[in-house]
Every structure is written in C-alpha cells, then in structure tokens.
Amino acid sequence: MASIEFLVAPRARAHGVVVALLLMTATASSAQRLTGTENGEWRYLGGDAGHTRSSPLDQIHGDNFGDLEVAWLWRGDNFGPNIDYFNRSTPIYVDGVLYTVASPRRQVVAIEPATGETLWTFREPETIRHLRSPRQAYGKGVAYAEVNGRGVIFVTSPAFFLWALDAKTGRPLENWGTSVPLDGFPDSGGLDLIPPLVSDWGRWQDRSASYDANYGIPRELGMVTASAPPIVVNGVVVVLVGHQPSYGQTRIENVPGDIMGFDAATGAFKWKFHTIPRPGEFGHETWENDAWQWSGDMSTWAPASADPDLGLVYLVTNASTVQGYAGHRPGDNLFGGSVLALDVQTGERRWHFQIHRSDQWNYDLPTPPMLMDLTVDGRQIPALIQNTKQGLIFAFNRETGEPIWPIEERPVIQTEVPGNYTSAMQPYPTKPEPVDRIVWDGLTEEYLVDYTPEMKQEALEILSYYRAGGLYVPALPQDHDNPFYNNVGCLGGGNIIPHPPVADPSTGLMFSSHRRTCNAPTFMAPTNGVDQDDPNYAVPGVGGATPNKTPTTGTTVVPWLPRGARRPTPEQDPFVSPTGLATIEGLRIYKPMDNQLSAYQMNTGERSWSLPVGETAAAIKGHPRLRGLDIPNAGGAGWSIQMVAGDLLVQTRALSEGTRQIVPDAPLELHGRDKRTGEILGSVPLPAPGQYGMMTYLHDGKQYIVVQIGSVHTDFPGSLVAYALP
C-alpha cells in the first residue's frame, strides 16, 4: 500500500484586516445572515451555514466589475490524470487559507489566497474500495471547525473514510478516531465509516465472512461512498452518504444511507439516523413488502446546511434502489425524497417533509436547503427554501417545519406496469409559483410552438398521440394497449446539481437557473429474472474497468427495466428525439426555454424578474422552417451558475451537461449583474467555461472572486481562477 503523501510549502501568515474596511464591506443587514461569512471569510461550502452562496463583501461592485483582472490560476490537473468532467468542489476560505479537493483521489489541498500557491496536500492511501467507488471525482469540498483551539479540516473520501486534518499542516490529528488496520494508514486522524454504518443492519449481521477494510462492502450487498463533504455543527461532524446511482443498477439490495454524527474533538461515534425506518420507528409503515430489510441507497448526495442557534442540521435525500420501478418497495418510502431536520447532538428527527413519494423518476433532491430569515405578511420567519429538479419551490419555517404557504395534494397518473407501485397523490406548493409554470399545468396547448399557424397545428396533431400528464408521469409497458403512443410530462428545473440556486439574506431574493424539458418515458420491458446492469455505469476495478455486475447468488433482480426501443406514432413517423417525444422535423413541439435565470422575492413569494441566459441555439434559429421569423430568445446551451456578492449577482455560463463539450455559442465571460434587475453591469473574460459554483473572500484588504472552471475538453481541467481589482 502507498503511504500518506504530504506536500508542505512555506506559507505567509495572513495580515490583519483593517476594521474600518470590514465596516465598509458589510451590508447593514448582515446580522440576518447565518454564520460563515463574517470578516470576509467563506467558511462553508455554500459560504454561510445556510448555504446561500452569498457574501456581504462589496469592494467589487457594478462600477468596477469590468476592471477585474486574473490574480492567479490554480491547475487541478497537477494532481493526477482523469480529472472528472465536473469540478464540483467549491473552496472554503478560513483564517487566511483556501481549502478544496482535487482529482478522483479527492486530495485535500491548501492554497495561498493571494497567489494560488499550493501550501500542502493530503492524499488518502490507496485501497481496493477506493478503486471500486462509483463517485471518485464527485467530491464537493471540505468542512472546517475549530477544535480545542486549532483549525481542523474534515473530509470524507470516495472510499468512505472520514479524515480530520490539522489546517496548518495537513497532517492527520493525533489521538483522533480509530486506527485503520491497513498498510500506510496512520494510527490516528481517520475513521473507517463502513463498520458504524452497517453494524446494526440485518443483512450485514447475517453474513459469515470477516470484514476486509481494504475491500469494503461485498458487491452483492451493495456499494457506499460519499459525494458531499461532512458539515460540522456545534462540535458534531455530520457525515453524508452516497451510493452507486440507482438508475445504473438492477439489483434491489443496497446499503442504507444512514446519516451519522461523530464528536469533532475525538472522532467518537455519537448517533445514527435510519433513513429507511426500522420496525417501531416513525415512517416504517411506508415500506411495504418488508422492503426495509434489504432496500438501500437513500443517499444524501447534496451538501447539508445548518442553524447552529437552533442546533439543527438540514439534509435532503434521494430515492431507494432502482429508479424506474418501485414494485419491490411499495409504499411512500419515507424518508426518500425528503427534507430532514435533525437534532445535531442526538440525531433525532425534529421535523421532515417528503417532497415526492415512491420516487422512480430520478427526482432526487439535488441541492442543499437554503436558510435565511424572511418577513412574510409582517411575521418574521426563520425560513428554509428547497428547490427541486422538477422546478418546484418549497418554503418552510426551519424551526417547526410548518409550510410558509399552503402545499396541496394533487392526483397523478398511476403506473400500468404489472407489479409496479406509484403513489396516488403528490405534493405541490401553491406559492411561490414554480420556475416554469408548465410543471403546474402540464404540456397544454398554451406551451406548444406557435411560430407559424402551420407549426402550431402540427404540434397539436403530434401531441394528440400522447397522454399529457404533469411531473409524475410513469413509464408504460413496452407492449401497452393504450390508444395513445406514450405518456409525456415536463420538468421545469432540470438537474440543478451543477448549477445550484443562491439567495441573498439581506434582501430576501433567491436566484435559480432552469430549463424546460418535456419527454416521454422510456418503455418498460420484463427482465425474466436476468441481471442486466447498465454497462454505461461500469465500476472501476483493480487493474482496469470491470462490468458493474451483481453475483447471481443471494440477489433479487428487478422484474421490469427501461428499454430504449421506441415505436413510431400510429399515424405518422416523425423524427423522435432522444427524449422519446416526436418533433417537427427536429424542432421540439413545445416552446423551448433552454437557459433561464429567475429571481424571486421570498418575503412575498413573487417572481421579481426572469431572463434568458445566452442566445437561442443556431440549430433552432437556422432551421429551414424558421428562417426569416422573429424567434423569441430561448437562452443558450449550458447552465447559468452564480453567487451573490454585495449588490451583485456574479454569474457565468457553465458547460452543457448533456454534451460534455464547450458550447460554441457560449462566450467565456464572467458577469456582474444588478441583483435587483438582472442587468449586466460589467463583464470580464474567463480562460475556460465555468463549472458548478464560485466563491468570494477578503484577504489582506483585497476582495477576490474564485470561479471553478474547465473540463477535460479544455486546457484547464478541474481548475480555479481568481479575480481581483488592479
């Protein structure tokens, strides 16, 4: 085994910041903010503990934004090959140092904030279970806490170890955690998280083989990893869990994604919350067919947020095993698709809300709950705002869990796949309105293309071959006997994992980027008891990639799985897009909204402004059917990513997640927008497309903005670029 590797470079101590400057750079209402951005710092992944990705710093503003210059460029490819397409790790800035992770090894890196110089690195010793991890390069960052008078960096590795590192040196803490019995691992400073996770899990207790810390969990029982970093609240390290994506597997077994808390000072285990309730626990009855015994996943992919004053940590979950079919786990499946508020000292549930039930659409909650104080109808409310892939916006009192505005139950289309299960009702917030009202209304005539009367009529005819539903449209059996071709539903938010919404506690504004997507679900076909894991989600093995297969013994295979084959419509054979929805000579039948940025005033629940980001794709504007027509701007490809800094909404376009390429029509620019109107006040060029997020900090009296950039298709994979005024 390789030993722990360190790189330590001389570091300059951060100079004190002039108090007067701090007063100048703080807004008058900064007291409303949760802790994390005081004194120009960015202590949490999302800036403050409420994950708003907002800072009161305003040294950089609309009048000087265009004067920004590149202060330094930090290269992520210096830390190994195979940098993942996404750079999802937003740095934190604490006590004069930046901290982040890099490469599939998820090396922890300390960076000098004025020059971009690497100060030290820490890399976990290699293990077989790291090579088997399904989410190696998806690390979103690190956590920080002060423990017994010194700064400590906490990180969860892809192999599912927790590390506590001295913030000055990067060395594992002495007398912390438990010794890992593997070559190259230190005697302290780390924790093997698998034993406490599975110790009370029945399927683990039933196995006779001894535990191999190098290999981890046997493949036939499942896989476990981490994507989001831990969060430290009031002396407790809360560890989040990830798994192999549910849409890439066919077995119904997996490890439960229970949430655990550890003492930040010692690493001692404190508590565990069962995300799949056991007998006698709240919500157990929502797991029918004894599915609680073997069903797993229920990951917490997204980072967590917290209110230290309330002593609560807030988390969001995804679905259980196999998204696409739920007949093996009938019921509402609590706490899947839920917002959870846990007591950080005990792990006890204070409140929860299930955003969607019995998920089989890959609607996992992709972004952390955002916390800020609101004034609604004259009442001051400690609020929690949850955005969804569907495009819905939920708002709660974060202390009690009470919805700020009513949430109503709506009936949804039920499954026709034999043996499958769908919940009869799903919750819809009545306010704020969704980022795209199509998710309230479904694909109706109002949303069909009407560039010309002829195209409108063609769109109506195509739509007549489908059954139009809302958000929760189930897949049909491949050989269904309905008079229509397929179901069709629409999303308004999209996969907001790589472009999280942000908020401004000083004004109550929230900003969300979104796009419209309508599709017909892939048909389902019986598997006849044969394990057919998707080869596109192969798990790396020792010495190379090995198929993501489950041993036959001791596993149960899902009886129905999606199949890609599609039939033409009954009366005509138009071009069928990858979404399964017929088109008009390649043009979507619904009005496109490909890259939209919307602002909401959350004190009232009303939309403040909305505008397209980028320009309509050339494939649309240049289509023969549309030449010479005035086409509304649908926004360009890629995503909009942003943060709040003072009065600015700092914003850029990210890579197109679907194509994994640089988009030709996407200018590489960083914009400073007026957060109250969306107007661009200044712009500067970027060396590569943005990715996932950005952050800002004040160091030695100078404000910096750091943007995550690059991809494997550029000269700057997994990199960071910092801007400052001359």
pLDDT score, position 171: 98
pLDDT of 469-513, one tens digit each? 889 999 999 889 999 989 999 999 877 777 889 999 999 999 999
Closest to 18 (Cα-Cα) out of 40, 46, 48: 40
Cβ neighbors of 544 (< 8 A, separation 6 or more) are none
What gap in Å lies between CA 519 and CA 487, rounded to an integer?
8
Cβ neighbors of 306 (< 8 A, separation 6 or more) are 34, 49, 50, 231, 233, 238, 312, 313, 314, 344, 371
- The whole-angstrom distance between residue 575's C-alpha and the CA centroid of its chain comes to 33
Backbone angles phi, psi at 62, to 5 degrees: -65, -30
Residue 74: its H or E element: strand 69-74
Q: pTM for the complete prediction?
A: 0.92
Cβ neighbors of 644 (< 8 A, separation 6 or more) are 52, 53, 54, 55, 502, 503, 504, 509, 511, 650, 675
Using the CB atoms, write b or e for 361-396: b if 16+ within 10 Å. bebbbbbbbbbbbbebeeeebbbbbbbbbbbbbbbb
Q: Which two tokens stand for residue 502?
A: 């942000």
Q: How many CB atoms lie within 10 A of CB 534?
A: 14
Which stretches does DSSP call E strand in 264-304?
269-273
pLDDT over 70 percentage in the chain: 86
pLDDT of 517-554, one tens digit each? 999 998 998 888 776 555 444 444 333 333 333 433 34
Query: Has residue 18 got a pLDDT over 80?
Result: no
pLDDT of 271-294, one tens digit each? 999 999 999 999 999 999 999 998
Backbone angles phi, psi at 312, to 5 degrees: -120, 140
What gap in Å lies between CA 328 and CA 89, rounded to an integer?
36
Three-state secondary-structure class, residue 684: strand
Q: Which two tokens stand for residue 25?
A: 């750079």
pLDDT of 50-65, one tens digit each? 999 999 999 999 999 9
Closest to 633 (Cα-Cα) out of 593, 668, 663, 673: 593
Backbone angles phi, psi at 440, to 5 degrees: -80, -40
Closest to 247 (Cα-Cα) out of 536, 463, 5, 24: 536
Contact indicator for 308, 238 with CB cutoff of 8 Å: no
pLDDT of 379-433, one tens digit each? 999 999 999 999 999 999 999 999 999 999 999 999 999 999 999 999 999 999 9
Q: State the number of CA atoms in the 13 A half-sphere of 352 facing the CB.
A: 21
Mean pLDDT throughout 108-123? 97
What gap in Å lies between CA 350 and CA 561, rounded to an integer?
37
Residue 708: its H or E element: strand 702-709
Burial of 208 (0-12, 13-18, 19+ CB in 10 A): exposed
Weakest-pLDDT range from 152-156, 351-355, 710-714: 710-714
Contact indicator for 167, 97 with CB cutoff of 8 Å: yes
Q: Where are the alpha helices (DSSP H) in 207-266?
A: none
Query: Has residue 453 got a pLDDT over 90?
Result: yes
Backbone angles phi, psi at 195, to 5 degrees: -55, -50
Three-state secondary-structure class, residue 409: strand
Q: Which residue has the tokens 């054979």?
A: 573
pLDDT of 337-351, one tens digit each? 999 999 999 999 999
Q: How many helices (H) and strands (E) does the chain have?
A: 7, 42
What gap in Å lies between CA 255 and CA 596, rounded to an integer?
38
Closest to 719 (Cα-Cα) out of 75, 86, 71: 75
What gap in Å lies between CA 496 and CA 597, rounded to an integer?
12
| Radius of gyration over every alpha carbon of the chain, rounded to an integer in angstroms | 25
Q: DSSP character for 25?
A: H
Closest to 224 (Cα-Cα) out of 143, 137, 157, 316: 157
Q: Which two tokens stand for residue 678?
A: 């969306």
Cβ neighbors of 138 (< 8 A, separation 6 or more) are 84, 86, 88, 158, 227, 242
Confidence of residue 131 (pLDDT cuts 50, 70, 90): confident
Cα 695 to Cα 24, 92, 257, 334, distances in angstroms: 19, 8, 29, 35
- The whole-angstrom distance between residue 394's C-alpha and the CA centroid of its chain comes to 17
pLDDT score, position 538: 43
pLDDT score, position 29: 39
- Between strands 486-491 and 466-468, the pairing is parallel
| Ramachandran sector of residue 371 (left: φ over 0; alpha: ψ -120 to 50; beta: rest) | beta
Mean pLDDT throughout 155-166? 96
Contact indicator for 100, 90 with CB cutoff of 8 Å: yes
What gap in Å lies between CA 416 and CA 92, rounded to an integer?
48
What gap in Å lies between CA 642 and CA 678, rounded to an integer?
12
pLDDT score, position 186: 95
Check residues 252 and 404 and name the one with the higher pLDDT. Answer: 404
Contact indicator for 47, 30 with CB cutoff of 8 Å: no
What gap in Å lies between CA 725 and CA 197, rounded to an integer?
48
Q: Which two tokens stand for residue 261?
A: 């808390």
Mean pLDDT throughout 637-663? 80
Query: Has residue 722 got a pLDDT over 60?
Result: yes
